């Protein structure tokens, strides 16, 4: 496992590009820019090839986030390109993520959001542009502090409209537009 500060691995470069151009650039998450410009986002490239190994790395990163002040690391992106590349396997793995958070007694403190290149919301077609709101170049687990999220939501007027606005943005951009956005 390697930490991404200064890491030139293609997976980290592509993930930074996605964060800058899609998440921040399209304002999919209005809270992302502040922590990114303050360099409080930790990028970690996992070398795990088995779900069990990824779960172990996730536990380490959850505990690191818990034990590190938010002004140093506010959020972590755990990029895992060699495991759970099939979206259905990845989606099933999320139950294990929830169980890990509970086992580490981190409920109410940390949570994990999910991103995958083939992300598909329930009851949506594979080519629905709305799925792109959760599509990243590589399978990625996003570790978040609930206190930071609560603070950001409280400061953002009409946080409930974010999802609706994102779906409209993706519908206008389309799948091809989203793909072009992420090209070097």
Which residue ranges make up each domain of the chain?
2-181
Residue 184 is predicted with a pLDDT of: 75
**Neighbouring residues of 141: CB distance < 8 A, sequence distance ≥ 6:** 58, 77, 78, 80, 97, 112, 113, 114, 115
Residue 8 is predicted with a pLDDT of: 60
pTM above 0.75, yes or no: yes
Residue 3 is predicted with a pLDDT of: 46
Residue 181, token pair as written in the block: 């956005």
**Neighbouring residues of 3: CB distance < 8 A, sequence distance ≥ 6:** 42, 43, 44, 45
Residue 6 is predicted with a pLDDT of: 47
Is-contact 81 18, C-beta < 8 A?
A: no
Residue 1 is predicted with a pLDDT of: 52
At residue 118's C-alpha, the angle toward residues 112 and 121, to 5°, is 65
User: For the segment 40-49, what is each residue's pLDDT rounded down to a tens digit?
Assistant: 999 999 999 9
Q: Which residues of the chain, if any, have pLDDT below 50?
A: 2-7
Is-contact 83 97, C-beta < 8 A?
A: no
Is-contact 15 49, C-beta < 8 A?
A: no
């Amino acid at each position: 496992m390697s930490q991404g500060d200064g890491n030139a691995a293609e997976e980290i470069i592509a993930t930074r590009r996605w964060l800058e151009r899609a998440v921040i650039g399209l304002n999919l998450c209005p809270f992302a820019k502040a922590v990114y410009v303050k360099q409080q986002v930790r990028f970690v490239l996992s070398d795990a090839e088995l779900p069990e190994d990824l779960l172990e790395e996730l536990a380490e990163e959850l505990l690191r986030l818990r034990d590190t002040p938010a002004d140093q690391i506010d959020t972590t992106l755990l990029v895992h390109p060699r495991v759970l590349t099939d979206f259905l396997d990845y989606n099933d793995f999320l139950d294990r993520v929830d169980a890990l958070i509970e086992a580490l007694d981190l409920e109410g403190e940390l949570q994990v959001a999910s991103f995958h290149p083939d992300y598909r919301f329930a009851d949506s077609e594979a080519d629905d542009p709305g799925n792109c709101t959760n599509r990243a170049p590589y399978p990625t687990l996003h570790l978040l502090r609930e206190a930071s999220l609560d603070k950001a939501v409280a400061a953002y007027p009409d946080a409930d409209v974010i999802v609706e606005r994102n779906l409209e943005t993706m519908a206008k951009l389309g799948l091809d537009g989203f793909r072009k956005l992420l090209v070097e």
